[in-house]
Structure formats: C-alpha cells, structure tokens
Amino acid sequence: MMRIVGLTGSIGMGKTAAAGYLRFLGLPVYDADAAVHAVYASGGAAVGPVGAAWPEAVRGGAIDRAALSALIAADPAVLPRLESIVHPIVRRRQERFLQAAALRRAPAVALDIPLLFETGGERRCDTVLVVSAPAFVQRGRVLARPEMTADKLALILARQMPDAEKCARADFVIPSHRGWRAMLTGLRRALRRTLERPARHWPPNPRMAPPRPAGMRPIGTHHA
C-alpha cells in the first residue's frame, strides 16, 4: 500500500524547496507544473486540442503561454474550457507516475500541486502538507522575480485559495521562513506520521496491487 502526500502552497511560499527536501528524504515527487510544461511543449499531448480551440495560442508547434494568458485575461470563459481540455491529459500523466511508483513499492509519494485544494485534489491524498510563510515574506519573494509586478501578483492570488484557509485545511503546515532546518524537521515529522497511517487511496482497488518487480526494494523508509 502506498501513501499519497499532497504538497501545496501559494505562490512564493517555498513549495519548490519543500519538494526538493521530500526528494532528499526519498519520496518520488510528481511536479504538476512540470507536467503542464511538458504537455504544452512541442509534441506535447495538449498542443493539438488546445490549438484546435485557440489556434492563436500555438506558435512553433508549442503552446505560447503568454498568448494563452492573454486569452484568459480577455475572456473569463477561456479558463474553464482550457481546464476541461488540459486537466484530463495531466491527470493521465499523474496516474502513470503513481503506477510507476507503486511498481517500485514506494511507501509514499508526493504530489506537488499548486492548486491542490482549488481542484479538489486533496480528496485523493492521505496527507496534505501546506508550505506557508508570512504575507510580507511571500510578497518580497514574488516581487523579486523577473518580470513580476504587483498587479500580476494580485491576479495570481485572486485565483488561489487564501493561505489561512489552506493552512486550516492542512494536516501539516510546513514553515518556510525559519530556515532549512525547520522546514526539513517539519517534513520529516509529517512523513513519519504519514507512514504510521494506513494508505487509503492507492491502489484504487487493493486487489489490483501490482507485484514487486524482481530486485526492487522499498525506498524512502530509512529517511522517515
């Protein structure tokens, strides 16, 4: 049985650093942002269907994210339609990731999903970790990024659940503003507690649990 850890947090909260530490602790980590970039790239599975809906969003055989963002800003109806196209494609990549980790008998995996709560993804997780920091720290981090403005940040935050609500719904809140030791300690504690609990979501049908391939051993437990 494999535990599924949901990792989320608003922009600038330190989620990427937390994902890196989880990899260090031995967990396979699924990166939802990287999956979207992959399906938007040349030859990606989303290029065809998105291009059929919005030909102006495809340039050089790939989806132009700036053009797509402009379409979304101009017409609120674009985003839900886009999500209805892209989410099933990305979800299939996620399922393949889970299947591969299960074949390796990983005791736990992490799903790094920025909009975990907003998309209802927490319902597929055994544990949810929210990475958080004070608002002034978040704002300073984000505005230090190239081409980021206060207006862009406001638009992004408007599409995300407030940090306070995410923290209230989390199983564990991981602080990112107290240094790497505090973050790593929090992640170790959360992972240890998660491994003490029974898996509830994988495999979807316990009778379908895959056999362990020859020579494969469980990974990650020695770091818990």
Residue ranges making up the domain that contains 168: 1-28+108-213
End-of-domain residue from the set 75, 103, 131: 103
- Which pLDDT does position 73 carry in this prediction? 85
User: Tens digits of per-residue pLDDT, 164-180?
Assistant: 999 999 999 999 999 99
Residues 125 and 198 in one domain: yes
Write the CB contacts of 214 (distance below 8 Å, at least 6 apart in sequence). Answer: none
- Tokens 């940040």 belong to residue: 153
Residues 17 and 82 in one domain: no
Residues 173 and 88 in one domain: no
Residues 116 and 24 in one domain: yes
In 52-205, the DSSP E strands lie at: 58-59, 62-63, 108-112, 127-132, 172-175
Q: What is the CATH number of the domain that holds 80?
A: 3.40.50.300
Coil, helix or strand at residue 149 = coil
User: Tens digits of per-residue pLDDT, 207-219?
Assistant: 544 443 333 333 3
For residue 213, say if its preceding peptide bond is cis, omega within 30 degrees of 0. no
List own/partner pairs for 69-75 with CB under 8 A and 24 or more apart. Answer: 73/155
Q: Say if strands 3-8 and 127-132 run parallel, antiparallel, or are unpaired.
A: parallel
Spatial distance between the Cα atoms of 122 and 124, rounded to a whole number of angstroms: 5
- Tokens 């030909």 belong to residue: 55
Q: Which pair of structure tokens corresponds to residue 22?
A: 């989880």
Residues 74 and 98 in one domain: yes
Q: Give, in order, the Cα–Cα distances in Å from 167 to each of 63, 144, 173.
A: 34, 24, 6
Spatial distance between the Cα atoms of 128 and 124, rounded to a whole number of angstroms: 10
- Which pLDDT does position 76 carry in this prediction? 87
Number of H helices, E strands in the chain: 9, 7
End-of-domain residue from the set 72, 103, 134: 103
Model pTM? 0.85
Phi, psi of 76 (to 5 degrees): -60, -20
- Which pLDDT does position 205 carry in this prediction? 65
Spatial distance between the Cα atoms of 22 and 3, rounded to a whole number of angstroms: 14
List, for the chain, all residue ranges whose pLDDT scores fall below the cut of 70.
Answer: 205-224
End-of-domain residue from the set 63, 79, 103: 103
- Which pLDDT does position 208 carry in this prediction? 45
Q: Which pair of structure tokens corresponds to residue 12?
A: 């600038």
**Contact present, 218 and 102 (Cβ < 8 Å):** no
Could you give the number of structural domains in the chain? 2
Residues 118 and 200 in one domain: yes
